[in-house]
Amino acid sequence: MERSVTNMPAATLAAKNLIIPGASADEIENLVAALKRMDLRTDAGLKPITISLLGNVTTNYLADYIRLMMVRQGYAATIKVGEYGGLISGLLEGGELTSTSCDAAIVLLSYRDIQHPPPVGASASHARELVGLETDFWVSLLKRIAVPAAVLSFDLPPWRVLDEQDGLSPGGLGWHVKMSNLEIAARMPATISLVDAEALQARLGSVQWYDERLYHMCKQPYAMESLTEISHTLVAALMGLLGRSRKALVLDLDNTLWGGVIGDDGLSGIALGSETAEGEAFVAFQRYAKSLMSRGVILAVCSKNIDATARSPFREHSAMVLKEEDISCFVANFGDKAQNIRRIAKDLNIGLDSLVFVDDNPVERALIRAELPEVLVVELPEDPALYVRALDSAKAFPMRLLTQEDLGRAASYKAMTAVREAASGSTTDMAQFLSDLQPNVHVEKVDRTSVDRIVQLLKKTNQFKLNLSTFQEADILSAAGHVFALKLADRLQDYGIVAIAVTNPAGDTLEILNWVMSCRVFSRRLEYAMTELLCEHARSLGCRTLRGMYSPTEKNVIMPDILEKLGFSLEAPGIYHRPADSRVEEKHFMTIVDRRNQAS
């Protein structure tokens, strides 16, 4: 029998480094038990967070697992377990989740909570009406949640009164569940991530998902064996909402993107393509990586190879799905991989905690886990046929809504690298380079169509960020006239909305409540254009001064220097101000197009 981890700091450390998927059930159970006895808030390495957990089931066991998964993400979670049966009351006026007494919430729905089940023999139109009633009921409740929330959708019942038709035809309870899930998903605000219970149930298998005996004993429907996957899934969704999704996938090459070693086996010797089962598996993995790229994940290569050799399959092998231009940062040399991964993070201008590393070699994986614990290292199985599943089930890239910016991100990271190269040259080169790009700044209309991106950017940005204040959709929409959302486009590409300033006029001062800019457009001088716009806005309101509150975090240390360059000066600790009538010194070469008054 495996001994439990009773040494306290060792348990937190083990929890932080827990490999999911990969760790054994015993290992996880022991950690859950060990953490249960600990007060995590005394651990300075963990960020405190309070999460409300609500469902019409016993959530105590799940709470312990969620606590473990949160430690794994660097949080000391205090989990407020709602009363059994308190789901609906928690969502009603004055309920637990309608105030901000917690930082985040997890809500569990189930087919048992269905309010308008179709009676046997219901006509198709009646069944549709019932889905409408169901959806209206839950959407109106869920919309009251005042904090970011992961909401588990309805699961499918473990029995089917109408047999195969139960889930396929109007009138079946299964059909009602599926349709209601789709309708509810379509109507969720951006602050709620609906977690697909049907997909979770399918991954676990209905036997694991639903343990009748346990439900009758203690009102927990899920088998204990399922708690790892359930908590992992819910916490991943929450991480997506909290802007903690990872950004880049760092790929090894030999035996990761193709079978064999390019330096030894040569172009014709590596396994890649539909001729062999192994070759097909690598093609499938590349396809998956390419799809991730299309939805906004940046790809990088980190390989122990001679650069030209490493690039040769990308250039010459017909079965390569990934092309050289798909890789935003390509590092091939015989140096230490930890060193190279640090360099990739630096080149892409993102933190190590935004990286996911995939390598078939267990020694390299162990090295990175030890040297760079911030990097998520995926545990790859031996068989390349299982690579896709391994990466997918690591849930490293949770997302809520796909934005235009996500779709164009990979290309813009490539462009960013080019800009940085130019920026490292002389200043006249830089000016020439920037004006050659013919940049246009669009001051976007702040409305329903842009608000998701605005909220997302305010949340996800770490470096160019004044302070940690975040805003809900409603905050942004109600202050729309004082919110600046800048979109950058140049002759190479459209970056989408990449800078936001939320302001508030107060007497003769225009307060900058927060100001963020995506790291993809650093060195483009967009902050100068924003300063100009803010000054103009201030003057139009009769304000003489711009004022912003800077609160330092680990990541936004660049701000004081930038603010000074923009003409701000320190008034009191953390408070920066700037006269609204003085000119912005540096040229930004941008054409400013105001689109706020255009019909959308």
Partner 1 sequence: MSDASREEILAKLEDIFRSVFADDRIVLTEGTTAADVTGWDSLQQIKIILACEKKLGIRLRARDINALENVGEMITHLQTALAKTSRKQ
Least distance to partner 1, CB of residue 512, Å? 49
Options 17, 36, 468, 585; binder of partner 1; rule CB under 8 A = 36
* Strand blocks (E) in 41-147: 47-55, 75-81, 104-108
Q: Is 24 in the site for partner 1 (CB under 8 A)?
A: no
| Nearest residue (CB) to partner 1, 225 versus 473 | 225
| Nearest residue (CB) to partner 1, 72 versus 178 | 72
Options 13, 19, 60, 78; binder of partner 1; rule CB under 8 A = 60
542: left (phi > 0), else alpha (psi -120 to 50), else beta?
left
Which two three-digit tokens encode residue 319? 């079965």
Options 12, 14, 29, 350; binder of partner 1; rule CB under 8 A = 29
Q: Is 9 in the site for partner 1 (CB under 8 A)?
A: no
Q: Is 62 in the site for partner 1 (CB under 8 A)?
A: no
Least distance to partner 1, CB of residue 537, Å? 57
Are the CB atoms for 209 and 223 separated by under 8 Å?
yes
Are the CB atoms for 341 and 315 separated by under 8 Å?
no
Which two three-digit tokens encode residue 557? 């240390």
Least distance to partner 1, CB of residue 30, Å? 7
Nearest to 241 by CA among 188, 192, 195: 192
User: In residues, how long is the chain?
Assistant: 600
Amino acid at 465: K
Are the CB atoms for 359 and 365 separated by under 8 Å?
yes
Amino acid at 60: N
Least distance to partner 1, CB of residue 214, Å? 7
Q: Is 217 in the site for partner 1 (CB under 8 A)?
A: yes
Only segment of 25-33, 91-99, 366-374, 566-574 that touches partner 1 (CB under 8 A): 25-33
Q: Is 3 in the site for partner 1 (CB under 8 A)?
A: yes
| Nearest residue (CB) to partner 1, 11 versus 177 | 11
Using CB under 8 A, which residues numbered 218 to 237 contact partner 1? 218, 224
Rounded CA gap, 167 and 183, in Å?
16
| Nearest residue (CB) to partner 1, 30 versus 340 | 30
Per-residue binder mask for partner 1 (CB under 8 A), 453-492, x = binder: ----------------------------------------
- Half-sphere exposure for 223 (CA within 13 Å, toward CB): 13
Least distance to partner 1, CB of residue 39, Å? 14
Q: In 154-276, where does DSSP find H-type helix?
A: 173-186, 197-204, 206-209, 212-218, 227-241, 262-269
Pairing of strands 440-443, 483-489: antiparallel
DSSP summary character for residue 285: H
| Nearest residue (CB) to partner 1, 84 versus 288 | 84
Only segment of 54-62, 157-165, 414-422, 556-564 that touches partner 1 (CB under 8 A): 54-62
Q: Is 84 in the site for partner 1 (CB under 8 A)?
A: no
Only segment of 29-37, 133-141, 172-180, 362-370 that touches partner 1 (CB under 8 A): 29-37
| Nearest residue (CB) to partner 1, 212 versus 264 | 212
| Nearest residue (CB) to partner 1, 182 versus 217 | 217
| Nearest residue (CB) to partner 1, 133 versus 217 | 217
Only segment of 3-11, 99-107, 298-306, 583-591 that touches partner 1 (CB under 8 A): 3-11
Pairing of strands 464-465, 440-443: unpaired
| Nearest residue (CB) to partner 1, 5 versus 141 | 5
Least distance to partner 1, CB of residue 33, Å? 4
Using CB under 8 A, which residues numbered 197 to 216 contact partner 1? 213-214, 216
Are the CB atoms for 221 and 208 separated by under 8 Å?
no
| Nearest residue (CB) to partner 1, 224 versus 549 | 224
Burial grade of 365 (CB within 10 A; 0-12, 13-18, 19 or more): buried
Which two three-digit tokens encode residue 339? 């060193």
Least distance to partner 1, CB of residue 5, Å? 7
Longest pairwise C-alpha distance within the chain: 78
Task: Classify each residue of 250-275 as buried b or exposed e, where b means 16 or more C-beta atoms within 10 Å of its C-beta.
Answer: bbbbbbbbbbbbbeeeeeeebbbbee
> Number of helices (H) and strands (E), helices first, in the chain?
22, 19
Options 13, 23, 33, 306; binder of partner 1; rule CB under 8 A = 33
Only segment of 55-63, 116-124, 516-524, 591-599 that touches partner 1 (CB under 8 A): 55-63
**CA 423 to chain CA centroid, nearest Å:** 30
Rounded to 10 degrees, what is the CA torsion of 472, 559, 410, 295? -20
Rounded CA gap, 406 and 398, in Å?
13
Which two three-digit tokens encode residue 31? 């950690």
Per-residue binder mask for partner 1 (CB under 8 A), 533-562, x = binder: ------------------------------
Least distance to partner 1, CB of residue 264, Å? 47
* Residues binding partner 1 (CB under 8 A): 1-6, 11, 29-30, 33-34, 36-37, 58, 60-61, 213-214, 216-218, 224
